[in-house]
Amino acid sequence: MGDVPRVVENDQGKILWDFQIQMDKMEVSNQPDIVVVDKQRKMAVVDVAILNHSNIKKKEHEKLEKYQGLREELEKMWRVKVIVVPVVHLSVNLSDGEQLSITGVDEHGSLLVLANHTLLVEGQVIRSPTNTLSVYYCSGLEGSMGIFQLHYQIFRLSCSLPKRPHFGDVSVLDLLPGGTARFHCHMGYHLHGEPVLTCLNASLPVWSDKEPVCRALCGGTVKNATVGRVLSPSPHHGPNATLDRSCSWSLEAPKDQRLHLHLERLALGPTDRLVLWSGLDAGSVVLFDSGRGGQIPFEGVISEGPAVRIQFITDQPNHNTGFNIRYEAFERGHCYEPYLQNGNFTTSDPLYGVGTVVQFTCDPGHSLEQGPPVIECISARDPYWNDTEPLCKAQCGGDLSGPGGLILSPNWPEWYGEGEDCSWRIHVGEDKRVLLDVQLLNISDSDMLTITDGDEVTTRILGRYVGGSSPFKLSSTTPDLTVTFHSDPAGLVFGKGEGFIINYIEVSRNDSCPDLPEIQNGWKTTSHVALVRGACITYQCDPGYDLVGRETLTCQLDLSWSSQPPFCEKIMYCSDPGHVEHATRSLSDPKLLVGTTIQYSCNTGFILQGGATITCYGREPGTPVWTSHLPHCVSEDSVSCENPGVPDNGYQILSKRLYLPGESLTFVCYQGYELIGEVAIKCILGNPSFWSERFPIAHFCQSGHKQTYNSRERYVNKFNTKSSKTSISEFVFLCVCLFLLIMCIRCRYNSNLRLPLIYPHPYRQITVETEFDNPLYETGGVSSIQFSSIELNFNLDTAKITTNTSSVG
């Protein structure tokens, strides 16, 4: 992915690819795969995953939750509508045993596997490196069949992005065939190779030539020299390379001008020698000779005339030893134009006449060395600066503070040395934190960069890095952060990298998760005052609402919440009341919405206590409830009434041991006896169940005539004692009841049914366990029935009752 530009922009919008988004508030998930921004003030955050079928929904939900914080922050910062789009690819649906592979050939004609059934996914795009591609398929065992579908089309191949040369740069106009790439080198270096390369159309498009390199030449001549650099020659590798080298450079300024040579860098080996002459012939004045052991003129040297000759002799040319000389021409009567590498200056006179004052400042990450920050042009006869220009060098370690700064590898932009041990300690305000932005990291595999969080007492390693890495960011959890760099003393053997560039800024403390919003029709409670790591927020809903989502959310180590906040939904259904033991139920709606009815029926041998049907109805406000409690199914034995027994001189009709609630028991007397009390009693449901007659023993039989007379006498006496206190309405009501009783007896006794009230019963007592409410039992063998006819005469004044008894055949 290194060849893909991270930012593509036009008049309609912008696309960011694998781009880390800076925000005021730190978000761990701030580098989605794709961010699309259009001119309509809308933004889409796209993240891609490749999964199996079983994990699709879960992964889509994870993607939405992962970038929820990023979405909210982007909407606040950029005032745009942001949507999160999870893109989940499905794997190709092949059965076990089936094989599928796609192959191509490289530029040498060798077979190259591009993908197989273990890596193929739906929606995947596979590009052949050349104009040839093959598909291989092998079926599995019988009975198993998978599915795959491939769509192919031709496309124009492109050249790879050319590498930037060391000590130079490259600009690419187009990577498609016909496109060009232009190379150039920094001052003092010369391009070895073609400065312009063209992408050639072929089976595999390639550049028209090898990528050039930037090298410092061994010697040369510069005519009309104004500003430039002379560098020690670059190491030359190859079979024809020689260690012993002698290089010479000739510099000639315009007429009537002189040259100033500034020694930016001078690190010579024990056998190296550098000589500077003010002129081109052998008899010229020596300006500097390192072999004489004198002091190094870091302030520079000035030629007596317009020409300078430089000679360098070495037997081990390498990156660690050598020199950098910057030269510039200036007119007589003026000071030369100062120069500060990795810095800048301000001047009081752009012509640098006598009295000009220049002030120097270094670029971020560098500090002034080997000179004062202010110099002045003096001496009208032969103007010169009262001191040399300082140097701005990237330091090896130091204590850093303030709202921001820059950390560079030692000696940047030059190569760092072997055996470097550097430590940068960053401290910000106690209520602040440090954000590191590693823009470049290119060190050798034998060197190491370590970033630690905290002070010397509480230290936590954030990361250790070797080799190269793409840009990334890190944040501290304390006000202190330390960057340590160690380079291998044997760097000559293992090689060295380019170095590193690290920006740091002071940011607000971010030790807590973002506050979560309140929910409609509900409320939240927090476990801590500050939403620190481990704090919990619990959501609850008002009565009549259901919580959809997780009830409790936890602030995680990465300062994100464990899930998205829930919401409250209006309850439009009743909770399942459950099943009744020993019963079955039928539902009118399985979702139990308002209006649903449930009907219960007991199994055989059990009886229902309570309502058989319950209904779900809604309440405002409140949660829908059922109209009644659940019924119960109890065994028939537990709620039955026991047989109270047989009265003397009588028997029971349809007698049995137990009677269910609602069943009746009828009593009958033998011939010559009359029943006093209720003819039938009923089993009343209760806990326990009971007979409708309070005293079952009150059902007894007495001899007919005596019983009748004594009963009549007691009744009349009782009536006479109460007559004075009984109202007319009560008396009339009693008369009506007696009249109805007489009429009922007449109707029964005039029917064809015959009851054994007089004659002895020819059968044994019947014990069939069947409910039978009719107290009459058909015998079929009785020819006549004797019964008493009662005639009542009422006298309201005396309240006297007389009876006549007759026999009917």
DSSP character string of 123-188: T-----SSS-EEEEEE--STT---------------PPPPPPPTTEEEEES-SSTT-EEEEEE-TT
Is residue 181 over pLDDT 90?
yes
Higher local confidence (pLDDT), 370 or 287: 287
Is residue 245 over pLDDT 70?
yes
Please tell me the CATH superfamily of domain 395-508, with its number.
Spermadhesin, CUB domain (2.60.120.290)
Is residue 495 over pLDDT 60?
no
How does strand 245-252 pair with strand 220-222? parallel
**E-state strands within 672-738:** 673-676, 680-684, 690-691, 700-703
Domain(s) of CATH 2.60.120.290: residues in the chain: 232-332, 395-508
Higher local confidence (pLDDT), 75 or 92: 75
pLDDT at 534: 82
Q: How far apart are the first and last CA of the chain?
A: 121
pLDDT confidence bin for 747, thresholds 50/70/90: low
DSSP lists the bridge partners of residue 569 as 546
Closest CA to 409 of 421, 427, 399, 395: 395
Structure-token match 């890596």, residue found: 119
Higher local confidence (pLDDT), 601 or 332: 601
Is residue 785 over pLDDT 50?
no
For domain 522-570, give the fold: Complement Module; domain 1 (2.10.70)
Stretch 30-43: mean pLDDT, rounded?
A: 76
Q: Residues 225, 336: contact at Cβ < 8 Å?
A: no
How does strand 42-51 pair with strand 81-90? parallel
Is residue 180 over pLDDT 80?
yes
Is residue 198 over pLDDT 90?
yes
For domain 333-394, give the fold: Complement Module; domain 1 (2.10.70)
Query: For residues 598 and 578, what is the distance between their CA atoms, to the nearest angstrom?
Result: 10
pLDDT averaged over every residue in the chain: 77
pLDDT at 773: 40
Q: Which CATH class is domain 583-637?
A: mainly beta
Higher local confidence (pLDDT), 202 or 800: 202
Domain(s) of CATH 2.10.70.10: residues in the chain: 168-215, 333-394, 522-570, 583-637, 640-809
CATH number corresponding to 640-809: 2.10.70.10
Phi, psi angles (nearest 5°) of residue 714: -65, -35
> Each residue of 251-283: b (16+ CB within 10 Å) or e?
bbbeeebbbbbbbbbbebeeebebbbbbbeeee
- pLDDT cut 70: percent of the chain above it: 76
Pick the CATH number of 168-215 from 2.10.70.10, 2.30.110.10, 3.40.50.620, 1.10.8.50: 2.10.70.10
Query: For residues 594 and 704, what is the distance between their CA atoms, to the nearest angstrom?
Result: 65
> In the β-sheet with 384-385, what is the strand arrangement from edge to edge?
343-347, 357-362, 374-378, 384-385
DSSP lists the bridge partners of residue 220 as 249
- Give the range with max mean pLDDT: 108-112, 408-412, 727-731: 408-412
Higher local confidence (pLDDT), 82 or 483: 483
Domain 232-332 = CATH 2.60.120.860: no
Stretch 88-98: mean pLDDT, rounded?
A: 62
What type of residue is 551?
Answer: E
pLDDT at 801: 39
Domain 7-90 = CATH 3.40.50.720: no
Higher local confidence (pLDDT), 747 or 101: 101
C-alpha distances out from residue 785 to 221, 764, 790, Å = 160, 20, 16
Domain(s) of CATH 3.40.91.50: residues in the chain: 7-90
How does strand 357-362 pair with strand 366-369? unpaired
pLDDT at 165: 87
* DSSP H or E stretch at residue 601: strand 597-602
pLDDT confidence bin for 360, thresholds 50/70/90: very high
Is residue 250 over pLDDT 90?
yes
Q: Residues 388, 371: contact at Cβ < 8 Å?
A: yes
